[in-house]
Structure 1
Amino acid sequence: MTTTQAARSATSKSERWGSDIEPVTVGDLTFRMYSERPHRLGSLLTFASRWGDRAHIVQGERVVTFEQFRASVDARAHEFTSAGIGSGDRVVLLGFNSPEWIVNFWATVAVGGVAVLANAWWSEEELVSSLELVEPVLVLADERIASRVPDRYKVATWSPTADPSPTAATPFVDPGTAEEDPAVVIFTSGTSGKPKGVVLSHRSLLSGLQMLLDITRRLPHLVDETAGESALHTGPMFHVGGVQTLLRAICVGDTLVMPAGRFDPAEAIRLVEDWKIRRWSAVPTMVTRVLEHPDVRTRDLTTLRAVTVGGAPVGAEFLERLRTGLPGVEPRVATGYGLTENGGQGVAASGKDTVKHPGTTGRALPCVEISIAPRPELPDGEILLRSPTQMLGYLGEIESPIDSDGWLHTGDLGHLDDEGYLWITGRSKDMIIRGGENIAPASVEAALVRLPEVKDAVVFGVPHSDLGEEVAAALVLESDVDPTQFGDRLRGTIASFAVPTRWIVVTEDFPVNHAGKIDKNAVVADARTKVESR
């Protein structure tokens, strides 16, 4: 059998993917779903053989082909099964972007485990509380972070213990997981402060993948062995966008190119040129930093044809600046809208949409329903989503934002126009989005008031040209101190990106409402005028 025949054979054994949609009952709910669809994430591993010796993962000097990737996954999966890890077992991935992160993710999927994606930037306190919530059977920890994991948890090395080889590793065997079984846990910040574990099923992730492949005409039977592009991935893998990127890449044969460390615009520009990057998914902050870098005018970036921006609101001014700064992507600037609780993207806008309707987030993906719940006290209502991509629920005893009819209450405000385009006009939930990271003001306030010098604290977001928003704190102090000194002390209890960068000291106690609680709206309104006057 030739290599091409073997690849086609592997593809034919995969579950069928179609474009026809029908109502499917899941428990007490009915969703719009594809009648022909994959049911298990592990089935996607069969596509690796289709792409052979093509580069799959690139980071620094490291280049991992699809063949090497599959051998590493099989070797790692064999280690897991030997250790007794199998269906339903929770395995925590605690590390930064790397080939090992990707191999560990797929190896966990291969044995039917639940991949728990920890945020590598968490403080020690956030890590401990999240591990207590998860109760994992195993923690896979990057050597740089492993010492932060409490001794009571079993920690395994970040890399496989032996060099993988196709003959030594046990090939993937379907563990029998069903599409409603949990597949991944992804953490997101909520208004209560502590990270919340969003449980996504195989159905959740595969439905989202199939919709995106369907609208872009990239379903497995529609692509051949020449498919696949070099794609720059600059966001963290432990976000839902990172998982979506991994799933797409193995289906269509993409080469994933990652920075060697923290995002650096000069490195991103070099990677685009060296690897002839065609696609880049990023938060607006990263795009802005590239556009402002002097190298963008001297390097050859003409291969970059498509940029997808998300993770923060995108305005018409930003899109125009992107098209001007990167002319090659002019017709292909896409955006969208979604939540981790909805399995990621639920609404998409193509390049043509962003030109014709600047500022819109797009229209619903094929299986997604949108409704607007009236909010009489506000000009626009709350956006509700219903989709097969939505979560099973949160870990622990946390109330779900999904109602009995299956509608996910997003907390975002907006409206639909006559053509079905969704426009987001605000957020009813108390949240700051800084550079694509969600920050719960309540968690920052709690950390501040634990400091003996702080009597009361109100935290809010203020506009920032690069990050979208930055964190500001209004404080009532017990003593005359400089609040900028609090930064280093806070980093032990909250993530570094959540530490305030703007400080307002209030000399009198905060006003309270009729219930005796701090009138946060009044405090923020007054503090904003002081921030803007500086």
Structure 2
Amino acid sequence: MYYSELRQVRDELTGPGGPFEIVEADILGNRIRTYKNAPPSVREVWLSTVVFAERPYLIYQDERMTYAEAHAQVNAVAAWMAEQGVQPGDRVAIAMRNYPEWMLIYWACVASGVTAVGMNAWWTTEEMAFALKDSEPKILFLDAERLTRFREKPELAGSVKLVGVRLDKTEPDITPWSEVIAHGGEMPAVTVDSESDACIFYTSGTTGFPKGAQLTHRGCVANLFNMLYAAASSALAVERATGVAPPATPPVPVTLVTTPLFHVTANNCAAYGVTAAGGAMVLMYRWDAGDALKIIERERVTGMSGVPIMARELITHPDFPNTDTSSLLALSGGGAQVPPDQVLKIDEAVETARPTTGYGMTETCGIITSLGGDFYVDRPDSAGPAMPVYEAKCVDDDGNEVPLGQTGELWVRGAAVIKGYINRPDATAESITDGWLHTGDIARMDEDGFIYIVDRKKDMVLRGGENVYCVEVEAAIYRHPAVAECSVFGVPDDRMGEEVAAAIFLKSGEMLDADSLREEMAKHIAKHKLPRFVWFVDEPLPRNASGKFLRRELRDTFAAQMG
């Protein structure tokens, strides 16, 4: 394989004078690696796309919007928000499905120095209420489904101004989207600070409440450069080794976005990448492999981003053999580790497409590592090398770096690491030490710098790309008066990667069934966090010497009983 070429290319691309030159800078009190040639904010990224005026940009069902039309609407939203008194540094929340309006609002915010708050569309009313109180947005854009949940707690409104998107009827207290767009106007002339918050994305919290991660403009731009570097370095290394050059004029990307835009996988990785290249984003109402195949054929999709199960469902769908997928160049899997067998199946199933993956987190504004093509096929169990903007190390429980090849918790430091969590200095201090982010993943690194994720340190279930913290689910279970003890853990699942399971010991004389428990829990946490498997035990749960439940022992015992 071409690992010596990859190292050589990395040195050239990131060294003095290279397009991805790495320099060190004092950022938020730490000496951090950053890209010398990166624009100072996301504003410049969006404004640079005005040159793609007549190209198609947003495609949703039978709706199509060009870059020129998108810029006009983004400018109108930004001008309207400014007229409402929204200033740089203020926050504006988005609570909706993957509609085209999501992206228009997002770009209007970041291009005018306003912080976009991405609200999880699966949240319950209770979870929405927490995030609104936590982030204090000046404006909330929401669709019909989120409005229904919002109405369950009228006190949520406070002083926030509501804008309705794709509502079936007019509401007296809600400004319709059409009025915002009709406002017209120009993008406010502002200077956006690199260390200011571009967006706040919520990640499940270990205390039962989500944490609002502060993704800076520098971090979001660094993630875009990480993705550009990953593609460039891999292609150049292969060319050096084989003599086969990529097309002089690569095709304009058409990306099928299948995961929620309130996550970094879809927003910071898929949307940023395709937008910066002047490509088209194709959005879906909800994931369906059959519908995705039709879209790929009709729109000549070149790449699809999603969690690993989506690629598996695509290539195993009954319609796959009869669908023209020849436009596909890449099938990406992120948000969970791709099973090694699937890497080879993707490579064999679609003649034109290569498998790619990225390992990352909300807390790194996107990817930490990237791996694709021949390198991925050669090392399908690896997540790839860390991007050059990062320092990376594996550490023991005391934070000491372990020798190369040994396992430890992966820590990374670089420009794409978040500033912290809003209103949570405790959580920030727990997760970031001198700029080093504690990923919570147990990993090892080889002599080529490739990272292998082997386990998880956090008590967390990674279900279909969604982080589900065990204690959050346990807190919801304990709300039921019949429960004496409970422990939540993840169990392997072919489709979702992991599923949520719970072992429960009831109070003496109490009766409870799984459906009744889930019904009660659904009032407090989103549906994807509800345990698929509920295991009622006859004896108190096993504990260690310090009194903590033996989560792994319970998981192994449960798995053995499941056969």
Q: Same fold (TM over 0.5)?
A: yes
- 1:80-479 mapped onto 2 (5 Å cutoff): 80-149=81-150, 150-152=156-158, 153-158=160-165, 160-162=177-179, 164=181, 169-217=184-232, 228-244=252-268, 245-259=270-284, 261-329=285-353, 332-375=354-397, 380-397=407-424, 398-400=426-428, 401-478=430-507, 479=510
The whole-number CA distance in structure 2 between the counterparts of 1:174 and 1:211 is 28
Name the % identity.
Answer: 29
Which secondary structure state, in structure 2, belongs to the residue aligned with residue 96 of structure 1?
coil
Residue 518 of structure 1 aligns with an amino acid whose one-letter code is: F
Contact 2:79/2:188, CA 8 A, preserved across alignment: no
State the secondary structure of the residue aligned to 2:177. Answer: coil
Specify the alignment match of 1:499 in structure 2.
Answer: 530
**Alignment partner of 2:122: what SS?**
coil
Letter in 1 for 2:444: H
Q: CA deviation at 1:156?
A: 2.1
Aligned-residue offset at 1:226: 7.9
Any idea what SS the aligned residue of 2:352 has?
helix
Report the counterpart of residue 13 of structure 1 in structure 2: none
Match of 2:56 in 1: 55
Give SS of 1:393's match. Answer: coil
**Compared with structure 1, are the counterparts of its residues 325 and 18 closer, same or farther at alpha carbon in structure 2 (3 Å cutoff)?**
closer
Query: SS of 2:145's equivalent?
Result: coil
Deviations 1:315-346 (A, max 9, x none): 211212222332321xx211121111111101
Cα displacement string for residues 20-39 of structure 1 (whole angstroms, at most 9, x for unaligned residues)? 22111214211222222201
SS of the residue corresponding to residue 191 of structure 1 reads coil
Residues 421 and 214 of structure 1: is their aligned pair in 2 closer, same or farther, counting only changes over 3 Å? closer
The amino acid of 1:86's aligned partner reads Q
Q: Give the structure 2 partner of residue 74 of structure 1.
A: 75
The one-letter amino acid of 2:199's match is V
Select 1:480's aligned residue among 511, 516, 521.
511
Q: Would you say the 8 A contact 2:80–2:180 is kept in 1?
A: no
Aligned residues of 2:303 and 2:331 also touching (Cα < 8 A): yes
Q: TM-score, normalised by structure 2?
A: 0.86
Q: Distance in 1 between matches of 2:118 and 2:409?
A: 29
Cα distance in 1 for partners of 2:547, 2:218 equals 46
Question: Whole-Å Cα distance in 1 between the matches of residues 115 and 397 of structure 2?
Answer: 38
Deviates more, 1:445-454 or 1:87-96: 445-454
Matching of residue 518 in structure 1 with residue 549 in structure 2: yes
| Greater CA drift, 240-249 or 494-503 | 240-249
For 1:247 and 1:403, the matched residues in 2 are separated by 26
Deviation at 1:452, TM superposition (A): 2.3
Aligned to 1:389, what secondary structure does the other structure show? coil
Amino acid at match of 1:394: Y
Distance in 1 of aligned mates of 2:68 and 2:496? 39
**2:427 alignment partner AA:** E
Offset at residue 403 of structure 1 (A): 4.2
How many aligned positions are there? 508
Q: Does structure 2 retain, via aligned residues, the 8 Å contact 1:227–1:252?
A: no
Check the 8 A contact 2:266/2:305 in 1, yes or no: no
- SS of equivalent to 2:287: coil
CA distance in 2: counterparts of 1:214 and 1:477, whole angstroms: 54
Task: Name the SS for the 1:462 alignment partner.
Answer: strand
Task: Report the alpha carbon displacement of residue 358 of structure 1 after superposing the two structures with TM.
Answer: 1.8
SS class of match (2:319): helix
Give, in whole Å, the separation in 2 of the partners of 1:78 and 1:409: 39
Does 378-387 or 438-447 show the bigger shift? Answer: 378-387
What is the aligned partner in structure 2 of residue 6 from structure 1?
none
* Aligned-pair CA distance for 1:203: 0.4
- How far apart in 2 are the matches of 1:17 and 1:67? 32
Summarize the Cα distance change of 1:216–1:512 in structure 2 as closer, same or farther, 3 Å threshold: closer
Q: Matches of 2:89 and 2:40 in 1, distance apart?
A: 16
Structure 2 unaligned runs (5+)? Answer: 1-16, 151-155, 166-175, 234-246
Question: Deviations along 1:391-450, whole A, 9 cap, x unmatched?
Answer: 000011232245443211111001111111101110011110111111011111111121
**Which whole-Å CA distance do the structure 1 matches of 2:444 and 2:18 have between them?**
33
> What is the identity, as a one-letter code, of the residue corresponding to 1:300?
D
Q: Please say if residues 227 and 253 of structure 1, whose CA atoms lie closer than 8 Å, have aligned partners that are also in contact.
A: no
CA contact (8 A) 1:17 1:36 kept: no
Q: CA deviation at 1:45?
A: 2.5
Asked whether the equivalents of residues 484 and 503 of structure 1 are also in contact (C-alpha less than 8 Å), the reply is no
Are the counterparts in 2 of residues 80 and 111 from structure 1 also a CA contact under 8 Å?
A: no
Whole-angstrom distance in 2 between the partners of 1:429 and 1:279: 32
RMSD: 2.3
Q: Secondary structure at the match of 1:161?
A: helix
* Residues 32-62 of structure 1, C-alpha deviations (whole Å, 9 max, x = no match): 2222220121122223321112110111111
Query: Which range moved further: 289-298 or 268-277?
Result: 289-298
Q: What TM-score does the superposition give when structure 1 sets the normalisation length? A: 0.90
Structure 2 distance, partners of 1:522, 1:465, is 21
One-letter amino acid of the structure 2 residue matched with residue 420 of structure 1:
G
Consecutive unaligned residues in structure 1, runs of 5 or more: 1-15
- 8 Å contact kept, 2:331–2:346: no
What is the match of residue 4 of structure 2? Answer: none
What amino acid maps onto 2:161 in structure 1?
K
In 1: Cα distance, 2:433 partner to 2:532 partner: 41
1:89–1:114 CA contact under 8 A, matched in 2:
yes
Matched residue, 1:3 = none
